[in-house]
């Protein structure tokens, strides 16, 4: 039995949190592999470092060192501290090299942003050693997590990562050693760190679980499980006991921050169940996410919202009769490497929903379409997509009517609808200013609140 346990930033964010996490690991039976995020606040600190090139590097380095050493000084002493320091110093050399390397390198930011994980995993490894567990800190390079794709937006190559980890991680398990691996990034074909996007440690842990054919992936965070809505918006949100991969994947993709959008696929393909649990309340069972589908009677189970989106609408007379034109448009969107969150077409318009960050690049590609008489391209910014997940939504009569009556109650306009694309979710676009109200009303009417 192999369990992969992933701990997020707040779960490794203080000496007390690290000790709590170590006892969770100690209490887990069978073979264990740990994946950890950077201590909370550290990745944001690194982002501000790369965003402000004029910042004093020595000062920043000192802050980074102090953050980790003040934690270490509350955890280790004597020989344990010496052992920690020798690995710490080696990793600081890598940190300096990354920060001082060529800023023009497209993977420069990945190299710096991925530094936090190298130090949280080191702290955790030594806390585990302190309680008698033979743990070993591994970077993603050491473990063999292989990434590909664009800077700050990598995806794992599952086949190569499995080969890497079969060689580098599995043998440790048979020697009784517990690997503690950095989350958030893999290594690209040039041997450089490539991050999986913010929050990417969940995905890294799913990749590790896939690679070692784990029996269970546990994502330990700071809430009781996957909830019926973001608890920061709906304080009375209800914890969901069980959900299936499809539901969790849709919600994560459409904005439920508790899981990185791509966490589900690497475990789903191997039927590895996943649990979301609270490292501050290990007695809570959390949420089990698996491949089974249990029919239920509730209309909605969970609502998520993806904000900062834009609708790009292309108008051209009778476009529907010119499929070659639609195909050309899609080619151009692909050339811009833009993710489309929703599409809607009519006789003479083609509208699609993208992240606001991608608008400029997408328009640049579209403006280059020659030989087609495009009449207009309009952009509507400041919209958000709401994803309402329920079991067999389409099979139930009147669901969309109920959902849209809630939207009306929030005095919001539906800007775009995509119904029928997924069996489990109903997605629609509203103005950013009303998204919180719509989520609140939907939740109150169709899910209820914890008392």
Q: Which does 116 bind (CB under 5 to 8 A by kind): ligand ASP, Mg ion, ligand ADP, none?
A: ligand ASP
The 3-state DSSP composition of the chain as helix, strand, coil percent (nearest 5) reads: 40, 25, 35
Among 34, 180, 194, 223, binds ligand ADP (CB under 6 A): 223
Cα(65)–Cα(241) distance, integer angstroms: 40
Listed residue (115, 136, 120, 134) closest to 39, CA to CA: 120
Q: Under the criterion CB under 5 A, does residue 183 sit at the interface with Mg ion?
A: no
Among all chains, which residue has been given the structure tokens 């929030």? Answer: 410
**Which residues 6+ apart lie within 8 Å of 127 measured at CB?**
18, 19, 21, 22, 75
User: Per-residue x/- marks for ligand ASP, 102-131, CB under 6 A?
Assistant: --------------x---------------
Strand, helix or coil at 54? coil
* Contacts (CB under 6 A) with ligand ASP, residues 235-254: none
Q: Which residue lies nearer to Mg ion by CB, 31 or 202?
A: 202
Instruction: Closer to ligand ADP by CB, 186 or 199: give it.
Output: 199
Answer yes or no whether residue 184 interacts with ligand ASP by CB under 6 A: yes
The yes or no reply on residue 230 touching ligand ADP (CB under 6 A) is: yes
Cβ atoms 343, 389 nearer than 8 A = no
Nearer to Mg ion, 164 or 199 (CB): 199
In this structure, the dihedral spanned by the alpha carbons of residues 172, 175, 180 and 181, taken in order and rounded to 10 degrees, is 0
Euclidean distance between CA atoms 26 and 20, whole angstroms: 10
Tell the smallest beta-carbon distance from residue 270 to Mg ion (Å). Answer: 22
* Residue 263 found at the interface with ligand ADP (CB under 6 A): no
Q: Which is nearer to ligand ADP, 21 or 72 (CB)?
A: 21
Which region among 121-129, 191-199, 268-276, 301-309 touches Mg ion (by CB under 5 A)?
191-199
Altogether, the residues listed in the chain come to a count of 451
Phi, psi of 117 (to 5 degrees): -65, -30
**Shortest distance (Å) from residue 365 CB to Mg ion:** 31
- Under rule CB under 6 A, residue 197 binds ligand ADP: no
Footprint on this chain of ligand ADP (rule: CB under 6 A): 8-11, 37, 199, 221-223, 226-227, 229-232, 256-258, 302
């Amino acid at each position: 039995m192999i369990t992969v346990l992933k701990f997020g930033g707040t779960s490794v964010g203080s000496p007390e949190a690290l000790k709590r996490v170590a006892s969770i690991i100690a209490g887990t039976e069978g073979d264990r592999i740990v994946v950890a995020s950077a201590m909370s606040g550290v990745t944001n600190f690194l982002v501000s470092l790369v965003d402000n090139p004029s910042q004093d590097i020595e000062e920043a380095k000192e802050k980074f060192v102090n953050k980790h050493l003040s934690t270490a000084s509350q955890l280790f002493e004597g020989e344990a501290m010496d052992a920690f320091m020798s690995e710490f110093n080696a990793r600081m050399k890598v940190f300096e090299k990354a920060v001082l390397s060529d800023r023009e390198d497209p993977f420069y930011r990945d190299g710096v942003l991925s530094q936090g994980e190298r130090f949280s995993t080191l702290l955790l490894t030594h806390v585990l050693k302190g309680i008698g567990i033979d743990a070993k800190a591994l970077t993603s390079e050491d473990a063999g997590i292989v990434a590909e794709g664009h800077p700050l937006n990598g995806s794992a190559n599952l086949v190569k990562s499995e080969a890497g980890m079969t060689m580098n991680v599995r043998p440790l398990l048979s020697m009784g050693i517990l690997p503690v691996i950095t989350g958030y990034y893999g290594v690209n074909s040039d041997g450089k760190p490539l991050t999986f996007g913010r929050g990417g440690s969940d995905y890294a842990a799913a990749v590790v679980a896939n690679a070692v054919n784990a029996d269970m992936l546990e994502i330990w965070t700071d809430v009781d499980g996957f909830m019926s809505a973001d608890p920061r918006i709906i304080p009375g949100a209800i914890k969901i006991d069980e959900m299936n991969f499809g539901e969790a994947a849709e919600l994560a993709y459409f904005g439920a921050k508790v899981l990185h959008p791509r966490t589900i696929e690497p475990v789903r393909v191997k039927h590895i169940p996943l649990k979301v649990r609270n490292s501050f309340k290990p007695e809570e069972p959390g949420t089990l996410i698996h491949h089974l589908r249990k029919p239920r009677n509730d209309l909605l189970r969970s609502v998520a919202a993806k904000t900062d989106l834009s609708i790009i609408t292309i108008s051209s007379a009778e476009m529907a009769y010119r499929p070659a034109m639609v195909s050309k448009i899609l080619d151009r969107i692909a050339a811009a490497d833009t993710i489309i969150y929703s599409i809607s077409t009519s006789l003479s318009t083609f509208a699609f929903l993208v992240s606001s960050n991608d608008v400029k690049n997408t328009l640049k590609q579209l403006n280059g379409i020659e030989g087609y008489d495009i009449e207009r391209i309009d952009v509507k910014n400041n919209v958000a997509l709401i994803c309402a997940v329920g079991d067999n939504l389409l099979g139930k009569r009147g669901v969309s009517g109920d959902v849209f009556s809630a939207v009306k109650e929030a005095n919001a306009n539906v800007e775009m609808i995509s119904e029928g694309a997924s069996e489990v979710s109903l997605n629609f676009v509203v103005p950013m200013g009303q998204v919180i109200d719509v989520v609140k009303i939907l939740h109150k009417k169709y899910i209820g609140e914890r008392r």
